[in-house]
Structure 1
């Protein structure tokens, strides 16, 4: 039996393209490959200049630490993704809920009192709260007495400047006061509205889209109602 290829089959074999990727070495070195490399190095080392055992142990330790760090990174990434999914599921329960969040646009229902909060960085006097719509100022209100530093409750009775009920609509709320030296200072407002949708940002922060059109961070929510 002829075990050698014929001229034709031999030339065909040479001309047949080979899959170089199948014979390519793995790009990643694991612990088993590292140990095999060190074993080969020990077997072929110069007997007059043997390998330092301390260096061998140090290299092995570094490889183990690298593998442990890589595995830890995978675990942390998986946990982060799972935590973000859990956050999104929990936050989705806020859709349709009434909330009080830091912002300027407030949802108001005709005939009802709208509760809001004023947040000041310092104590202020002669504080004014201006409520307006697309046509202009609807009502200007005075905060009674001294507005202390921090958050303070405040209510709008829902009446306009003429004493009639303001219609159901979104209203802009702006507040300001005066410090001890007579300088005008803005006051942050925390207003009531409803959550329309929830989204998760790449950094993990939760953004709520409110019925007023504003988008605020979950951190801006102060109170959640029914």
Structure 2
């Protein structure tokens, strides 16, 4: 094995192979840079005097190493920012417990209570209907009549509509060809932390990801049914 010595009795022999192994340890950018500098000095001291290594090559290598360090620092900073953002999001979601929110959803969890919500139309509809489908595929179409562009509030009364408690799929049917989203208002009863972020339990909707919330606070929705 080749060894490198600086011709000084105070410093022990240094293994080039050992320096190379340490230099490729990218887990610590600062240590990586220090090891690289040590390796570069060792190469300069032991180069063939008749065929010296071009100094620009060392500079290019050092520049590349500095870039690696900068990229690792940026990655570490980005990770810290993501953790901070996730914590802030969780705290915000926890503060919504007991409050009413409005969420964009395609699912409903119907019980005995009425469910309020609204549909945001971009175009006028001569015939607008809310279609509710149960777990067996049975559909219930609720006619909302002719509607102008804008917010169309609705209220579902499961008892009046003959809808048994359970999970339902909800969608909007419009003769304009538009497929607007359904937004449902409900009270938050619980917040659960998951790998994808906070998940809220909303009455009338069920489990809802935090990013599906479209509005905070109490909402006033007039009943049409």
Pairwise TM-score range, normalised by the shorter structure: 0.5 to 0.7
Of 175, 179, 200, the residue aligned with 1:179 is: 175
- Provide the C-alpha distance between the structure 2 equivalents of 1:159 and 1:199, rounded to a whole number of angstroms: 27
The SS at the match of 2:146 is coil
Offset from partner CA, 1:180-203 (integer Å, 9 cap, x none): 5xx7x765321121212334554x
Quick check: 1:62 aligned with 2:55?
Answer: no
Q: Gaps spanning 5+ residues in structure 2: where?
A: 1-17, 24-31, 219-225
For normalisation by structure 1, the TM-score amounts to 0.63
Computing the radius of gyration from Cα coordinates, the structure with the larger value is 1
Residue 127, structure 1, aligned to residue 128, structure 2: yes
Q: Is the 8 A contact 2:90 2:197 kept in 1?
A: no
Aligned CA-pair RMSD: 3.9
State the distance in 2 between where 1:58 and 1:79 align. 31
* 1:197 matches 2:196: no
- 1:156 is the counterpart of 2:155: yes
Structure 1 residue runs without a partner (length 5+): 1-24
Matches of 1:127 and 1:58 in 2, distance apart? 67
**In 2, Cα distance between equivalents of 1:42 and 1:54:** 13
Task: Specify the SS of the correspondent of 1:145.
Answer: strand
8 Å Cα contact 1:124/1:146 also seen in 2 = yes
1:18 is matched with which residue? none
In structure 2, what is the Cα distance between the partners aligned to 1:225 and 1:83?
22
Q: CA 1:157 to 1:67, structure 2 compared with 1: closer, same or farther past 3 Å?
A: closer
Distance 1:88 1:160, change over 3 A: closer
Q: What is the TM-score when the length of structure 2 is the normalising length?
A: 0.63
Q: Equivalent of 2:97, from 87, 95, 98?
A: 95
What SS does structure 2 have at the residue aligned with 1:42? helix
The answer to whether the Cα contact below 8 Å between 2:129 and 2:173 also exists between their aligned partners in 1 is yes
Partner of 2:38: 36
Structure 2 distance, partners of 1:159, 1:52, is 82
**Deviation, structure 1 residue 107:** 7.0
Cα deviation per residue 1:133-170 (whole Å; 9 max; x = unaligned)?
Answer: 99xx9x9754342353xx523143969659xxx9xx88
Distance in 2, Cα, partners of 1:199 & 1:91: 9
Question: 1:140-155, aligned counterparts within 5 Å?
Answer: 142-148=143-149, 152-155=151-154
Deviation at 1:179, TM superposition (A): 2.1
Q: Is the 8 A contact 1:106 1:192 kept in 2?
A: no
1:105 aligns to 2:97 (yes or no): no
1:214 aligns with 2:202: no
The Cα shift of 1:120 comes to: 4.6
